[in-house]
Structure 1
């Protein structure tokens, strides 16, 4: 714990100095940003009739995670942008990030060692082919160089990145570093999006935009094993495909976005029903893994501004759930809704607060597998008295703008953790500390 906070303090001092020297001229063809996020969470003891290999712990100490990211971008040619994101991550989540499908800390990865480690998170290129002379001005931001963008274009994005950087976006519920922390509020929970254990993959994305419509599709690599750290380069037997259409509109002069996505993943996933039918007890999903298995699904994602400083979101997603979760989290059905409000009305315009509700569910095959005592890479209580996993989250983000620091107290309530009526409820308290420039 002391090591994590020492790293955080050192980075804060260095970034403050860097920030003082950063130029703001928007015509400069480069972008440089930094963020560091520390999340500490704790929960009081809660009741449980039994526990299994991947249960959320009924009693444990607090847990702290840290991520530090450099966002470097440059524009060597008029329509070509290059981005590079070295990242440091360390610490751990409560119960080693197991036991709750809608896990409470979106900054936590299921990695073996909590020791901070530096790795390359993103390295990708963006080429935009203009199809009109009409343009929009956009500001310098994370992985976004200031300049103009045509309102009608064809765009190619290739390299290493997170598919959630471009798909399943939402103005009010997407970023665990500034908005809600819960995994099932970062995106549509039933989208088992292809990624290594840290959330990144090698992918090619094609975007077509025509005014307020965007159609995009991506193909990417899956990990070699469920929740694995290495990507599988046997593309013909292991890959992920996703297609999404986005429409931006205005309602009573307030902007809204509607997104519909569909996906199909192919990987050597185990079949839940086949695992149940074997003589092994408890059933072992890893014993029935083989190539040719798929997972497909759909997601709907809405965000709508209702006032000049507040808006709401609604998401719903589903996957077939016949084969095991391979990369994200053990959710086969999910519905979430909430509100994000800026602090203008209480004279803290730089602050914001949010409230959200989520209901997660399992497919029949997935449910029966856990009932028989099976375990996935995230869930496994040894048995299961099934009930939908229901959770709520509320946070307040207090911004100290002159220091580039944001402090966010956070509270989450989880009913039926891991879809189990025999465990919980759980009350989770947290504090997120973020430095960014």
Structure 2
């Protein structure tokens, strides 16, 4: 942004000098920013809402701000502007705004027999603004609608026994300020009030009578818009942007739709966390914005708000190596937005040879010293910086199964969507790197609450080499977590001595601060151009409950990734791989006695290793858009030879820019 301002000034200086030597009419040729055209963008912000007396609004997460009935929220918009000769700008815009996820601790502090919430707000509005060059204040108003629902609770309050929902319509009004930043990008700040009509919920069948729900919503938004001009959804033919580009910030985005399904499987018995024997079809959809800004020399900040909707098979339960890497443990029928990443990155160059850095998601273009120290502080996924692999790392682009794109026995600290807060420091040299991190861990197994009362650590050494002039990398990592967990052997012994007690109640009652430690080895190796292999092995001690990731104590995986150059499709990829997952003896005994793991629990167990075969073909539809067909065969799902096998068929549509 700073570069854009300087560039604009430099460009204007010679023009001003030239204009002084021309007749007065030449001033009419001075160009101003033109707001005319189509645009599309996204927004993120904070809001609140009321629904009327006695409605008991659900508290949504505010993260650094207080929880509220909307919490942190965001969405997307598209529209069209027409700038008139008198600089008045007329426009029309449609948008959708989605609230954040539930703030569970706030809900538990104030239990209610039922709760009301809003799933989303949509609007179609007119806009009237006045263009002061690159700055445009405006007012806006129009039609609004939304979807609300009421949860009927059964103590404890987290147990929802019924849900009733309705659509409601109304009106909206607001005001904002928009500024052309650089390139074709504009930034805006906006306040919007939404008033939806009253809807009466008949809750008499639950013993509560009628409930009147009248949503009154306040939204405070910060947004970015990409301006296309009068040709919708296409950049100018000559490639010129409306303003000079800036290298001090960037914007990228992705969206991934991933349906999965399987047919009936052998299932003589099942537990609460078993794959249903009759088969199932589910789908997930994520949309992520990757925003980056250069603060100063070596200092960068990244922010990734993400909308997620849908569910994994059986609510992401029933497999150790789960089949969908996009399936979060906090699934939702309507999109929910989270600020998945927000972190500061400082790079300290040590001098010597430099390398080019390409523009990419969470990466600003430029140059950096090869010999460097990097510090990262904030919220991120541990896999962003540890356990990387060129061929098996991204379920949006390559293998989908959890045991394929990660060292599955590494119980990395994370909340339900898979992110944590902490710090990472890395020393990089030309042929090797070493990195270490300290992270928050969940307050209990599968909790969405992160805490520093206990913590997680990891250290990874990365070696880079060439074999017969083919590049490769070897990563070796060690990790240790300290979290509020139960000891498998202790729980099994207590359950045997007290058969009247439920083993899972014993596990919860005996949770205290306990360690988990282990290691992983991770290899990637190019064999020839466009053909590479990967291999991973990981292990943890397996004595205490899994805290964050999945029910795997030992795992090996490997496979091949082949680009389509040899058959004239260089942007296509074929992948084939396999994984074998196992459990410690204590973990097996816990599950066999009826214990529930993080994702699995059939009520009993005929133990065998869980075995996974995965193959996929990613077809490049157009640049940056791929369509993938994927097949997974999982033998002994959840380590149980009495159930399965299961064949899972998946599709995946992925787009990015």
Asked if TM exceeds 0.5, the reply is: yes
Structure 2 unmatched ranges of 5 or more: 1-75, 79-93, 96-224
Instruction: List, as ranges, runs of 4+ consecutive aligned residues in structure 1 with deviation greater than 6 Å.
Output: 7-11, 21-27
Q: Give, in whole Å, the separation in 1 of the partners of 2:363 and 2:227.
A: 21
Q: Which residue of 1 aligns with 2:520?
A: 299
- What does residue range 18-97 of structure 1 map to in structure 2 within 5 Å? 20=235, 28-97=247-316
Structure in which a larger fraction of residues adopt strand? 2
Q: Give, in whole Å, the separation in 2 of the partners of 1:177 and 1:91.
A: 15
Equivalent of residue 533 in structure 2, options 291, 312, 329: 312
Contact 2:302 2:344 in 1 (8 A): yes
Deviation (angstroms), 1:133: 2.9
Query: Is residue 2:460 matched to residue 1:240?
Result: no
Q: Which residue of 2 aligns with 1:343?
A: 564
What RMSD over aligned residues (CA atoms) do the two structures have, in Å? Answer: 2.2
Contact 1:135 1:149 in 2 (8 A): yes
Q: Which residue of 2 aligns with 1:259?
A: 475
Equivalent of residue 277 in structure 1, options 484, 493, 501: 493
Deviation (angstroms), 1:233: 3.6
Contact 1:75 1:81 in 2 (8 A): yes
Q: Which residue of 1 aligns with 2:393?
A: 174
Contact 1:336 1:356 in 2 (8 A): yes
Rate the CA distance shift 1:23–1:102 in 2: closer, same or farther, 3 A.
farther
**Structure of higher CA gyration radius:** 2
**Residues 12-37 of structure 1: CA deviation (Å, up to 9, x unaligned):** xx989678489899971222100000
Query: Is residue 2:627 matched to residue 1:411?
Result: no
Q: Which residue of 1 aligns with 2:618?
A: 397
Rate the CA distance shift 1:82–1:59 in 2: closer, same or farther, 3 A.
same
Rate the CA distance shift 1:394–1:130 in 2: closer, same or farther, 3 A.
same
Q: Which residue of 2 aligns with 1:428?
A: 648
Equivalent of residue 332 in structure 1, options 553, 557, 561: 553
**Residues 365-390 of structure 1: CA deviation (Å, up to 9, x unaligned):** 10110011111121100000000000
Q: Give, in whole Å, the separation in 2 of the partners of 1:8 and 1:47.
A: 47
**Residues 336-380 of structure 1: CA deviation (Å, up to 9, x unaligned):** 010001000110001111001000000111011001111112110
Deviation (angstroms), 1:144: 0.7
| TM-score of the superposed pair, with normalisation by structure 1 | 0.93
Rate the CA distance shift 1:16–1:164 in 2: closer, same or farther, 3 A.
farther
Contact 2:311 2:331 in 1 (8 A): no
Q: Which residue of 2 aligns with 1:249?
A: 465
| TM-score of the superposed pair, with normalisation by structure 2 | 0.62
Rate the CA distance shift 1:364–1:306 in 2: closer, same or farther, 3 A.
same
**Residues 294-329 of structure 1: CA deviation (Å, up to 9, x unaligned):** 000000000000111110001000000000000000
Query: Is residue 2:470 matched to residue 1:218?
Result: no
Structure 1 unmatched ranges of 5 or more: 1-6
Q: SS at the partner of 2:290?
A: strand
Contact 1:32 1:73 in 2 (8 A): yes
Q: Which is further off, 312-321 or 278-287?
A: 278-287
Q: SS at the partner of 1:222?
A: strand
Q: SS at the partner of 1:42?
A: strand
Rate the CA distance shift 1:47–1:258 in 2: closer, same or farther, 3 A.
same
Deviation (angstroms), 1:147: 1.1
Q: SS at the partner of 1:221?
A: strand
